[in-house]
Amino acid sequence: MTDLRSAKILSHRRNIQRYARLLATELTDLERQYLHKRIAEEQAELERWAFQSPEGPAPTAVVAEHFVTGAPAIKNDVGRQAPAD
C-alpha cells in the first residue's frame, strides 16, 4: 500500500509542476482556466493521498462512508437503526 501511495503522491506533484510550467507560457484565457482547474483537482487528490494513513483510508473517508452506506464508522459501532414508526 505504501508503494502505491508514494507513487500516487509523486504523480500528483509532477502533474501540478507540469501544469504550473504550462501556465508560464502564452495561453488563451480558456486554456489558462483549464490549467487552473486541473491544478486544483490535482491538489485535492494530492492532499487526499498525503493525509491518508498507509494502513487504510483517512478517517474522514470512513466517516463519509458511514453516512453514505450506514456501515459502522468505528469497530465498536454496530450502526444505528432509525426508530420504527
Short-list 46, 43, 38, 6, CA closest to 19: 38
Q: What is the pLDDT of residue 8?
A: 87
Report field, pTM of the whole predicted structure over 0.75: no
Q: Tell me the average pLDDT across 58-62.
A: 51
Q: What is the spatial distance between Cα 61 and Cα 38, in angstroms, rounded to a whole number?
A: 22
Tens digits of residue pLDDT in 21-53: 999 999 999 999 999 999 999 999 988 887 876
Tens digits of residue pLDDT in 2-17: 688 888 889 999 999 9
**12 class by beta-carbon count within 10 Å (0-12 exposed, 13-18 middle, 19+ buried):** buried
**How many CA atoms, within 13 angstroms, populate the side-chain half-sphere of residue 79?**
10
